[in-house]
Amino acid sequence: MTGRPVEDFVSCNPEELAQKCSLSYKALVAVRRVLLAQYTAFPISGADLYQELLSSTAILSTGSPSLDKLLDSGLYTGEITELTGSPGSGKTQVCFSVAVNISHQLKQSVFYIDTKGGMCVNRLLQMLQTRTSNVEEQASVGGGSVKAVIVDSVPAVLSSMLGGKQNEGMSLLMQVAGELKMIAKDFNIAVLVTNHVTQDGNGCLKAGLGLSWSHVPRTRVLLQRVENPGVSSSSLRTATLTKSSRQPCHLVEDFDLCNWSDERNSVSGKRKLESS
């Protein structure tokens, strides 16, 4: 009657139901068992899950030594990593660099979902050309199974749905989150998403899309421009770890968008947010 026959049926006591509908108790129990076998998620022993993870988890290097250090050696498969930052902080450039590195260096395929028309093929080619001058090699990047999904950006299409009575937009947002998590877990894929930032009451930057979304990514990195007086546009950026289950938060690393794989830019190394 409520349109949820399976849930209602399973929650019923088969004995009462048998009496009410004068159906066979045995048949009802059998139907119930089939339904449960059909729709439930089955428990896996922790030991098996651990063995499975050990053999299937991969860590995809981003190609930037300083960013890798921040992420504890790279993007982990099975997880969602989020890049946040104000416009011009280099989120899209980092996505490009990661995509190029995974497809060229690691020879794995990347799915790039561009929701804001920021995809620039010329820029990708340019990045590839700095790595190799061999045209054939440039054309044959990737090839392996899909190991990474990059979404640039999540709020571009979803933030317009939020606000107002919120239900629909929030529901859609959480469904997207659920799908991304499932893709990451079931196919062992590293998911990299970008998000914008908002300011909270104290003027601190925090990730956009609200509180419900804030629980979604496992790791979050805040990108910021290095304010360099005298230089109008610099490619120097700082990356701050704002959420992680592996590393202490508020680790800060410097990197250069132009010299992505350059080690020298990380000489300033780790420093604490508070001391800067």
Partner 1 sequence: MTARVRMAENGAQVVSRLEGRQSLKDVEPNIFPVDGGPGQGDIVEFYGMEGTGKTETLYHLITRCIMPVQSGGLEVGVIIIDTDHHFDMLRLVSILEGQLARYSKESDGSEAESEEGVCSCLRRLSVVHCCSSAQLLLTLHYLENSISIQPSLDLLIIDSISAFFWVDRHSGGESIACQEANMRKCAEFLDKLRKNYGIVIFATTHAIMRNYNTTSDSGLSDVPGSSSWRWKSADSATDFNKPYLCRAWQRIITHRVLFTKSQVSKDHKQVFSAACTSIMTKGVKKCLFNVMEDGIKFLCDK
Chain residues that interact with partner 1, rule: CB under 8 A:
2-4, 6-7, 10-11, 15, 35-36, 39-47, 49-50, 53, 57, 167-168, 170-175, 178, 181-182, 184-185, 210-212, 214-215, 218, 242-243, 245-246, 248-250, 272, 274
CB of 105 to partner 1, least distance (A): 24
Nearer to partner 1, 92 or 195 (CB): 195
**Residue (117 or 248) nearer to partner 1, CB:** 248
Residues 6+ apart with CB under 8 A from 221: 67, 70, 71, 81, 82, 83, 84, 239, 240, 241, 242
Site of tokens 């129990």: 29
CB of 87 to partner 1, least distance (A): 24
- The per-residue DSSP string of 144-192 comes to S-EEEEEEE-HHHHHGGG-STT-HHHHHHHHHHHHHHHHHHHHTT-EEE
Q: At its nearest, how many Å lie between partner 1 and the CB of residue 259? A: 29
Which value, in Å, is the radius of gyration of the alpha carbons in the chain?
Answer: 24
Determine contact, residues 158/173, Cβ cutoff 8 Å.
yes
Residue closer to partner 1 by CB (options 12, 146) is 12
Q: How far is the CB of 21 from partner 1 (least distance, A)?
A: 18
Taking the complex as a whole, the smallest distance from the CB of residue 274 to partner 1 amounts, in Å, to 6
Minimum separation from the CB atom of position 8 to partner 1 (A)? 8
Closer residue to partner 1, CB minimum distance, 136 or 200: 200
Cβ-based neighbour number of residue 214 at 10 Å: 15
**Of the candidates 213, 97, 111, 117, which has an alpha carbon nearest to the alpha carbon of residue 157?**
117
Nearest Cα to 221, choosing from 83, 95, 91? Answer: 83
The rounded distance, in Å, linking the Cα atoms of 195 and 109 is: 23
Q: Would you tell me the crossing angle of helices 25-39 and 14-21 to the nearest 10 degrees?
A: 130
The answer to whether residues 79 and 183 touch, using CB atoms and an 8 Å cutoff, is: no
User: 206 or 225: whose CB is closer to partner 1?
Assistant: 206
Cα pseudo-dihedral 96, 216, 107, 114, rounded to 10: -40
CA 25, distance to chain mean position in Å, is 48
CB nearer partner 1, residue 231 or residue 249: 249
Q: How far is the CB of 188 from partner 1 (least distance, A)?
A: 13
Nearer Cβ to partner 1 (103/194): 194
